[in-house]
Amino acid sequence: MGLIDPEYLRKYYAGLSDEALMAVDRSELVESGRAFYDEEIERRGLITDDMLPRVSTVTAGPASPRLRDVKRAALVACIATVVGVAIPMWNVTRQTLALESNIGKLGAIAAISVGYVFTAIVPLFYFALYRNEGDLPVSRSVRWIAMAAAAVIGILGVAAFSGWMASFRRESVLNSAGRPWTIGDTSTVLGRIDDLAGILLLAALFRLAGEGSPEGGVAVSKLLRLLTKIAVIAIHFMAVVCVIGLAATPWVYSYIRARSLQMGYANATVTFSRLAVDRVRTALEVISVYTAPFVVWRGSWTRVASDSYST
């Protein structure tokens, strides 16, 4: 039997669709065919089940202390996030329903549904991370991203907490009574607890970086793999939205100022610098929330690419 032309193999795999390429059983390929197959998979940025390690059905050894820390932190973060977003999501739901006369009933339901779906991505990822059995890949090259995000969350949280504490001070010498506690204050406290839980998880991922199983494999559950991909897609979408929001800041400020003048008053509390700072802070908060899924996803991709090059 004659040798197969390498150029033919390269063109053959290049002509397959993504679905057909991923349906190929890599274990049945000869060495030369496997090389061209891996080359095409890497070129398209695909990850197949043959390239990703699966959860072993054999009883695994005890998890490392740092991995147990990550799982415990993930569970705490999951609970804290669910509790922390409960009041804000309820407020958003009420406000959206109040706009039903403007956007219609279906529009209100669609907006609420999208909001709940995006809000559920992160706590579901935390739960999948807690339920994941076996090893977890965290690349050393991205460990500082986790620590930087933890620092950003901490700085923003301290700033918000300081402003919240200042709101309880008496308004004047004549008024010695502080303002009463509201449900918004409860939401603020729960939000800061959520921030602390997120920081602990990112710190645990930072400490886990570089650890691997003795065999060099990484057992990642299908649920974690799926939710990680969804979260990464979400962070790319949210990043685009944040960039558009920042770019539109001058237009938004001009619109608010024009509307204020039309209504006959000057809103001195809304300045361009304050509006820009608020949008930058919101963008940093959103991106920081999705950092943990990105770190896990990036670590998995780096590990898979390393394994494919070594074969």
Q: What pLDDT was estimated at residue 76?
A: 95
Q: Are 119 and 284 in contact (CB under 8 A)?
A: no
Q: What pLDDT was estimated at residue 34?
A: 77
Q: Where are the domains of the chain?
A: 6-44, 65-310
Q: What pLDDT was estimated at residue 74?
A: 94
For residues 284, 291, 211, 310, the Cα torsion angle rounded to the nearest 10 degrees is -110
Q: Is 117 helix (H, G, I), strand (E, B) or coil?
A: helix
Q: What pLDDT was estimated at residue 198?
A: 93
Q: What pLDDT was estimated at residue 215?
A: 44
What distance in Å separates the CA atoms of residue 62 and residue 80, rounded to the nearest whole number? 27
Q: What pLDDT was estimated at residue 25?
A: 76
Q: Give pLDDT tens digits for 204-252.
A: 999 887 655 444 444 567 888 899 999 999 988 888 988 898 888 888 8
What distance in Å separates the CA atoms of residue 251 and residue 263, rounded to the nearest whole number? 18
The residues, ordered by sequence, that sit 6+ positions from 297 with a Cβ below 8 Å of its Cβ are 228, 229, 231, 232
Q: What pLDDT was estimated at residue 176?
A: 56
Sequence-ordered alpha helix ranges (H) in the chain? 6-14, 18-22, 31-44, 65-98, 100-131, 143-166, 183-208, 222-247, 249-262, 272-289, 291-310
Q: What pLDDT was estimated at residue 219?
A: 55
Q: What pLDDT was estimated at residue 50?
A: 53
Q: Are 42 and 308 in contact (CB under 8 A)?
A: yes
Q: Are 297 and 232 in contact (CB under 8 A)?
A: yes
**Count of residues in the chain:** 311
What distance in Å separates the CA atoms of residue 138 and residue 151, rounded to the nearest whole number? 19
Q: What pLDDT was estimated at residue 17?
A: 80
Q: What pLDDT was estimated at residue 45?
A: 63
What distance in Å separates the CA atoms of residue 273 and residue 228, rounded to the nearest whole number? 36
Mean confidence (pLDDT) of the chain: 79
Q: Is 270 helix (H, G, I), strand (E, B) or coil?
A: coil
What distance in Å separates the CA atoms of residue 2 and residue 223, rounded to the nearest whole number? 44
Which tokens sit at 16? 């397959």
Which tokens sit at 75? 């569970």
What distance in Å separates the CA atoms of residue 226 and residue 232, rounded to the nearest whole number? 10
Predicted TM-score (pTM) of the model is 0.70
77 alpha carbon, distance to own chain's centre: 13
DSSP collapsed to 3 states, 19-70: HHHHCCCHHHCCHHHHHHHHHHHHHHCCCCCCCCCCCCCCCCCCCCHHHHHH
Please identify every stretch of the chain with a pLDDT value under 70, giving residue numbers as ranges: 1-4, 44-63, 134-135, 137, 170-178, 210-220, 264-269, 300-311
Q: What is the largest CA-CA distance in the chain?
A: 100
What distance in Å separates the CA atoms of residue 127 and residue 142, rounded to the nearest whole number? 22
Which tokens sit at 144? 């500082």
